[in-house]
């Protein structure tokens, strides 16, 4: 089929684009309670801590990337609703949920209780299927519709990276910043 190194390079480009998006918004983490929703291996934990955020995580057993048993249980949030967060980070989770509308509604309930947290959300666009649980792809406008349908009123969306192949440009993934 193709060169495995090209896929590896593409994965690194995607990871770097997500990190860059979070780094561009690191000022939001300073002094904030930050929930890393669907954290997987917690690749952005250190970035949040170094920016002065109080890191908390939530993940679901059985989903791809779940490593909750390997993480600091003192930072675990058993039920994210009903707790105050200033920032909710949710990277590369939406493609695995059976119902992306339900996920975004849940994120709205977390962000809107009791104040207005900022949601930093990412998802893939053009990307090979990673696992059988990998279900969804959205354009940035699709992400906007999802967020606005959940009640988010301030929504910004964009593409994280563009890859050029054979004279065509492909968006690698999208980012969204949203507030209730």
The model's pLDDT over 149-177, given as tens digits with 9 standing for 90+, comes to 999 999 999 999 888 878 887 788 999 99
Cα angle 29, 25, 46; round to 5: 50
Q: Could you give the CA distance from residue 16 to residue 177 in angstroms, rounded to a whole number?
A: 18
Q: Which residue has the higher pLDDT, 62 or 53?
A: 53
Q: Which pLDDT does position 149 carry in this prediction?
A: 96
Q: Which pLDDT does position 164 carry in this prediction?
A: 80
Residue at token pair 């896929």: 7
Q: Which pLDDT does position 175 carry in this prediction?
A: 96
Q: Which pLDDT does position 169 carry in this prediction?
A: 79
- Residue 43's pLDDT band, with cuts at 50, 70 and 90, is very high
Mean pLDDT of the chain: 85
Q: Which pLDDT does position 4 carry in this prediction?
A: 53
According to the 3-state scheme, what is the secondary structure of the chain?
A: CCCHHHHHHHHHHHHHHHHHHHHHCHHHHCCCEEEEECCCCCCCHHHHHHCCCEEEEECCCCCCCCCHHHCCHHHECCCCCCCCCCEEEEECCHHHCCCHHHHHHHHHHHHCCCCCCEEEEEEECCCCCCCCCCCCCCCHHHHHHHHHHHCCCEEEEEEEEEEEECCEEEEEEEEEEEEC
Closest CA to 29 of 40, 11, 44: 44
Q: Could you give the CA distance from residue 16 to residue 173 in angstroms, rounded to a whole number?
A: 11
Q: Which pLDDT does position 132 carry in this prediction?
A: 76
Q: Which pLDDT does position 170 carry in this prediction?
A: 79
Tens of pLDDT, residue by residue over 54-113, are: 999 888 765 555 555 555 555 666 666 667 899 999 999 998 888 999 999 999 999 988
Q: Which pLDDT does position 1 carry in this prediction?
A: 41
Q: Which residues pair with 88 in a beta bridge?
A: 35, 119
């Amino acid at each position: 089929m193709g060169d495995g190194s090209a896929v590896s390079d593409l994965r690194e480009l995607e990871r770097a684009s997500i990190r860059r998006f979070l780094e561009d918004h690191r000022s939001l983490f300073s002094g904030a309670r930050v929930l890393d929703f669907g954290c997987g291996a917690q690749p952005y934990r250190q970035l949040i801590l170094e920016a002065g955020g109080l890191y908390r995580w939530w993940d679901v057993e059985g989903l791809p990337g779940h490593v909750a048993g390997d993480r600091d249980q003192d930072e675990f949030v058993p039920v994210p609703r009903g707790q105050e967060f200033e920032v909710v980070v949710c990277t590369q989770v939406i493609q695995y949920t059976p119902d992306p509308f339900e996920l975004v509604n849940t994120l709205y309930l977390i962000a809107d209780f009791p104040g207005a947290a900022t949601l930093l959300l990412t998802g893939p666009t053009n990307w090979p299927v990673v696992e059988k649980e990998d279900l969804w792809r959205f354009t940035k406008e699709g992400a906007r519709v999802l967020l606005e349908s959940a009640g988010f009123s301030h929504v910004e969306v964009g593409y994280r990276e563009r890859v050029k192949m054979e004279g065509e440009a492909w968006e690698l993934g999208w980012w969204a910043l949203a507030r209730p």
